[in-house]
Structure 1
Amino acid sequence: MINETFNIEHLEKKLNIIFNSKDLLLEALTHSSYINQHKENNHNERLEFLGDSVLQICISEYLYKNYPDKSEGELTRLRSLIVCENSLYEISISLELGKYLRMSKGEELTGGRDRISILADSVEAVIAAIYLDKGIEKAKKFIISNFRDIIGRAINNQIILDYKTRLQEVIQQKGETLISYKLLRFEGPPHRRKFYTEVVIDNTVRGEGSGYSKKESEQNAAKDALDNLEVIYE
């Protein structure tokens, strides 16, 4: 049996925050699958909702104050790079949140502790728990401290949203291995040629995408596949 009190205290040290309400942090670490096997009503989805908003406003304020030369469009683009699932996943790995999560045995056996979406959502839930327990300033300090490196990479154009790698990770978690990209057609003049690609997973078309290079069309096909597979893999 997991010693949850010990886990909470251990995580508090990693977060550098001592919670007034341990139950609030525990809720942030509780996946919806867990309550189906235990007599509890609260899981972390509502906290995820709140944490997303807290994260958005804190990153928006930081960019606004620290980069006065950036236009509204540039700030929006930077925020989208910083506040994305890949970034949240990266933070969750650095904090090792996966080993603190409460989830059903079935979810755990199917790779739940390593699933990108679950780990990313848990970061938002923890941010909300910090905000509710300690207030906006403490939440802001936590966010900027943990996202500082990601913010720097976004400013320096070092973040690439690699949907192909992400899709590969997702299908490997489910034991599927056969993935391929097929160029369907291209159209337009040589200087402005548009490519259309489909992605096939285990002999089934899972997504389609287009772009003005083969690489872009494959990335968009992978993104479409991830969107289409959400119900299957979540």
Structure 2
Amino acid sequence: MSYPSDFVESVVQFLARSGIQPRRLALFQQALTHRSYLNEHPEASDLTDNERLEFLGDAVLSFLVARWLYRRLPAAPEGDLTRLRAAIVGNERLAQYAAELGIGEVLLMGKGEGAGGGRLRKRNLSGALEALLGALYLDQGQRAVQRFLKDYFERALVAVQHDRSDRDARSRLQEWAQKVHNQTPSYQVIAISGAEHAPTFTVAVWIGAERCGTGSGSSKRSAAQAAARDALKSLGLSEARGSDEETSDHRR
């Protein structure tokens, strides 16, 4: 059994948009085939899902990120490099990049998986991206994968470092709220906009009954982080580090 013709065409178009000129198209077709399709089509026994390519792509990605970080941050200790690598190759960040590339729209999957939100599922997106990297490695070698990921590495590093700052903002807001008001901030999604494959979430943060910040992001977590930054700014704490003097000022 061969791949559906519309799937083959969509893969060709996707690769062209992504700047990939395949030598062996079948590798990339396999990379974008979810196992649910084969489960629903037992007659397609000559086709293979993307899980073996995902395994290979995961290893290639981990090595390339490690080497890139080693060269990019020559003074960083081993512990920092390990944490940065884990964040850059994590499912959530890979899934976000896969969504930006439009991988979910191209994936060949079973009707049940697709109807159940499979094209938006982070596990499917990150796995397909890793499988794509595995296919590219087999098709054109390590340098081709490095070129394909060059922009992602830099963007991901900036985002990870930004996330660290954001987490610090949430921690600072919580510490201040508990110390001054004896309450823990609560976060709530108040709006979702944008395309299905790349939604934008808007989150508000409350301390007690007072809404003190709002933020938007591509995930609920990033939106909550933005809301915490906004709250710190509105409370006059954006440059503060929670000193006793600042805390007493807000008590007054």
The alignment partner of 2:49 has SS state of coil
Q: Equivalent residue for 2:83?
A: 77
| Displacement after TM superposition at 1:159 (Å) | 6.9
The structure 2 residue matched to 1:8, chosen from 2, 8, 11, is 11
Q: Describe the superposition over 1:159-215 as per-residue Cα deviations: whole angstroms up to 9, x where unpaired.
A: 75x9x99xxxxxxxxxxxxxxxxxxxxxxxxxxxxxxxxxxxxxxxxxxxxxxxxxx
| Displacement after TM superposition at 1:15 (Å) | 1.6
> Which residue identity does 2:16 align to in structure 1?
K
Question: Using a 3 Å threshold, how does the CA distance of structure 1 residues 56 and 103 change in structure 2: closer, same or farther?
Answer: same
RMSD: 2.2
| Displacement after TM superposition at 1:151 (Å) | 1.4
| 1:22-101 matches, cutoff 5 A | 22-38=25-41, 39-40=44-45, 41-101=47-107
Q: Equivalent residue for 1:111?
A: 117
Deviating beyond 4 angstroms after TM superposition, the runs of 4 or more aligned structure 1 residues are none
Q: Is the 8 A contact 1:55 1:83 kept in 2?
A: yes
Query: What count of residue pairs does the alignment treat as equivalent?
Result: 164
| Displacement after TM superposition at 1:22 (Å) | 0.8
Q: Describe the superposition over 1:6-48 as per-residue Cα deviations: whole angstroms up to 9, x where unpaired.
A: 2122111222011111110000000011112331440000111
The alignment partner of 1:11 has SS state of helix
Q: Equivalent residue for 1:202?
A: none
Q: Is the 8 A contact 1:91 1:147 kept in 2?
A: no
Q: Is the 8 A contact 1:47 1:124 kept in 2?
A: yes
Question: Using a 3 Å threshold, how does the CA distance of structure 1 residues 101 and 129 change in structure 2: closer, same or farther?
Answer: same
Q: Which runs of 5+ in 1 are unaligned?
A: 166-234
Q: Is the 8 A contact 1:81 1:159 kept in 2?
A: no
> Which residue identity does 1:49 align to in structure 2?
F
Q: Which runs of 5+ in 2 are unaligned?
A: 171-186, 189-252
| Displacement after TM superposition at 1:2 (Å) | 5.8
Q: Is the 8 A contact 1:59 1:144 kept in 2?
A: no
Task: Work out the CA distance in 1 between the residues paired with 2:165 and 2:49.
Answer: 35
> Which residue identity does 1:83 align to in structure 2?
V
Structure 1 length normalisation: TM-score? 0.65
The structure 2 residue matched to 1:134, chosen from 134, 137, 140, is 140
Task: Work out the CA distance in 2 between the residues paired with 1:151 and 1:33.
Answer: 33
> Which residue identity does 2:10 align to in structure 1?
N
Task: Work out the CA distance in 2 between the residues paired with 1:119 and 1:11.
Answer: 15
Structure 2 length normalisation: TM-score? 0.61
| Displacement after TM superposition at 1:155 (Å) | 3.8
Task: Work out the CA distance in 1 between the residues paired with 2:116 and 2:80.
Answer: 39
